[in-house]
Amino acid sequence: MPGSIGVSPEGRGLPTQLSLFDEKQVAGHKRLVDAVHSKGSLVAAQLYHAGRQASEAITGLDPLAPSAIPCGILQNHPKEITHEQMDRIKEQFRQAARWSIEAGYDIVEVHFAHGYLLHSFMSTHTNHRTDEYGGSFENRIKYPMDVLKTVIDEVNGEVPVQIRVSVDEYVEDGMKFEEVKKVCHLAKEMGVASISLSAGCYDAVEYAIQPMFIPQGFIIPFAKELKAEIDIPVIVAARLNDAHLIENVVENDEADIVAIGRGLIADPLLIDKIKVHDYDNICYCIACNQGCIDRVLGGMPAHCMVNPVAGEELTCKLKGKSGKKVAIIGADPAGMEAAITAAKRGMKVTVYEKDELGGKFKALSTPPEKDTFMMFDRYLVSQMKKYNIAFTGVFDIENYGDHLFPLIFREKMKKKGIDCELFLFSPIGDVQQGYQQNYEVYPLYKLQELHDRYHFDAVIVGGGGILHYASGKQLLDKNSTEFVDYKVFETAFAFYAT
């Protein structure tokens, strides 16, 4: 499922989002669907209208909602939707369903969740209407169910239709599970083939796109309860970032289908690895939301903090084998990622670290809500072992002084047969003054220029975040300069050497 698809110009919520409100857009969807089908997978169209959670800055149009209640996050100015506008949007849902079939989608999903237009009609949190579409439960669900029936009638059994619904809005006056179950039963009677469960709305967005402090698998009990009452497949999602948790959901009959989003950005081979019980080699989503949803909400493509190739799969390929020797100082995430990437290319790698593998991971993971960071630490350590990467203690930097350490380390490497040139990079070019007593300190944007001038094989890059990203994507190539946009989170050294 490639994310929500806007059925109306004013109903879009994200600048990078797919839309299907114009026949000209069908061809693009068909190319997407054909690409997915060519790899043996099915693909679903998730049709939605963002309602009060649409962005005026993106659409240039007034958001429409059951009532003129601004979204707490967006601080926008929705207008109360008229009956004429409701009829027009219902027709747009119908037409988008027809175009979805023409494009080749295998399933049509109608979005009843996350505080979007249809969900917002059902909830007393967002529906304060006094006409036949407000007030009682029966009135509040009338319009969403009308839209759903219109879609089901249009599809007419050509493909399955399902809904996605929030089990709980997690706002005081929001929709609760007892009402949600009633909606699910009515939808089943209407002809939906399956029900996908999520949670929250933008006013409780932490339950819709769960960060670290939301418990893993918190929707599973809701799925189990609904599954016991209804005889169509129940789909469960939300922080299912553990292989055994995923396996148990199906084995224990708690849900029929598991829906995974961010986990497949972190590791596209997640399911393949689970099938063969290759648990140690799974790179789990850590629910940081920084590389994916934070970027998407800002209008940028999704990337990933634990998978530096995410979003660049077509252009970022591992280079050919190399017999180089590589010395990496610091076994933090940056150092380990650089070591693993080099080892995949056949390089002989030695990692120097005076403490233990993981750097500041343990300190970072100390607060209870941050313990998920250790999942990435365990993955990197397992990859270090998998590729037989040598790990040794490094002499104490304090005995030599910060400004002498890189130069002395270079001499030690030469004695080991590793010949290296040193270039120190920082995001702004003003690392501690002591360094400048012995060599130049360059800002990151100079790396391209220096590489072209000297064609060096050994580089020292300061910064955990940058090096993790740059090494995994192999941005230390003379043809790339993208990494200058990424922040340095700590001082670290790592370099490739001949």
Give the residue numbers annotated as catalytic, written as ranges. 116
Tokens of 399: 């005995």
495-496/325-329 β-pairing: antiparallel
Ramachandran assignment for 486, one of left (phi > 0), alpha (psi -120 to 50 degrees), beta (any other): beta
Q: Is the Cβ–Cβ distance between 327 and 420 less than 8 Å?
A: yes
User: In one letter, which amino acid is 411?
Assistant: E
CA pair distance 253, 230, nearest whole angstrom: 13
Q: Is the Cβ–Cβ distance between 338 and 494 less than 8 Å?
A: yes
Q: How far is CA 147 from CA 92, 109, 177, 459, in A?
A: 10, 12, 21, 59
Q: How far is CA 277 from CA 247, 271, 273, 281, 282, in A?
A: 10, 10, 6, 9, 10
Residue with tokens 């490739």: 496
Instruction: Give residues with Cβ within 8 angstroms of 373, minimum separation 6.
Output: 286, 361, 364, 365
Count CB neighbours of 24 within 10 A: 7
Tokens of 59: 């659409």
CA pair distance 18, 191, nearest whole angstrom: 26
Q: Which residues pair with 109 in a beta bridge?
A: 46, 162
User: In one letter, which amino acid is 375?
Assistant: M
Tokens of 23: 């026949």
User: In one letter, which amino acid is 3?
Assistant: G
Residue with tokens 């998920």: 372
Label each residue of 156-177 as H, E or C.
CCCCCEEEEEECCCCCCCCCCH
Which of 258, 4, 257 is closest to 110 using CA atoms? Answer: 4
User: In one letter, which amino acid is 333?
Assistant: P
Count CB neighbours of 283 within 10 A: 22
Which of 300, 235, 223, 296 is closest to 262 using CA atoms? Answer: 296
| H-helix or E-strand spanning residue 236 | strand 234-236
